[in-house]
Amino acid sequence: MRILTLGAEDLLLPDRPIAPDFPPLPYGLSLDQAVAVHAHEVRAGDLVVADFPDENGTRRAGHIPTPYPATPHALRDCPCEGCEECDDMDSWTLADHSRVADIGWRFICLAPAEGDEPCAIVPRNRPVAVIRADVVACAEAAAAVPVRTYGVRWSADFEASSPLEAARLAYEQLKSYAVDAWPPELEVTAEDGQVAVIDLCDTGKAKGEGR
């Protein structure tokens, strides 16, 4: 349980549930990195992880099952083609321009509809818990699998009358691997010089040291 402070208000952020409907936060992020802000203070790229109910006294956060990256925008700028939340807002205004203006002033959309999920429309001053975009970007970069350069070599012996004929025989054999689904062993050399022989017929098992 964490206590987040927003102005003079203390907000309770309990531990994230451990359940199939609540997967872990991405990129190894944790709630220790979350901060409380008003909805209108959420920035593009912030990861929205929880929100707080409209009630008196100390408020306890409700976790968002699938945290989402924010793309905050005014309701009039929402790119969705009509979702349940937006339809409810339209029905409430009943084409009353004063109510339309009131909704535009009181609410903000933190993310447009996606798939079966409707727009995330919340009151502008509602507290939400987010992990800031720069923290998310750093965690994503650290979690990314490093890309390295590998040299891959295949070799085989052929009886031929010339280098050109040997090359053609090799090419025909390479094509046969695709037809017969029988790939060759490949010698892979990493940037640091480590060599591994990969047998693709044996589920990619390496026969030597390598990474």
pLDDT value, residue 184 = 74
pLDDT value, residue 211 = 42
What string of DSSP letters covers 121-143? EEETT-EEEEE-HHHHHHHHHHH
pLDDT greater than 80 at residue 89: no
Amino acid at 115: G
pLDDT greater than 60 at residue 209: no
Report the C-alpha gap between 210 and 63 in whole angstroms.
43
Least trusted range by pLDDT, from 6-10, 17-21, 73-77, 181-185:
181-185
pLDDT greater than 80 at residue 119: yes
Amino acid at 111: A
Confidence of residue 210 (pLDDT cuts 50, 70, 90): very low
Question: How is residue 113 written in tokens?
Answer: 């509809």
- What's the rounded mean pLDDT across residues 85-113? 76
- What's the rounded mean pLDDT across residues 81-97? 73
For the chain, the farthest-separated pair of C-alpha atoms sits apart, in whole angstroms, at: 91
- pLDDT tens, 21-73? 999 999 999 999 999 999 999 999 999 999 999 887 889 999 999 999 999 99
Percent of residues, the chain, with pLDDT higher than 90: 46
Strands 151-153 and 185-189: antiparallel
Average pLDDT, rounded, for the chain: 86
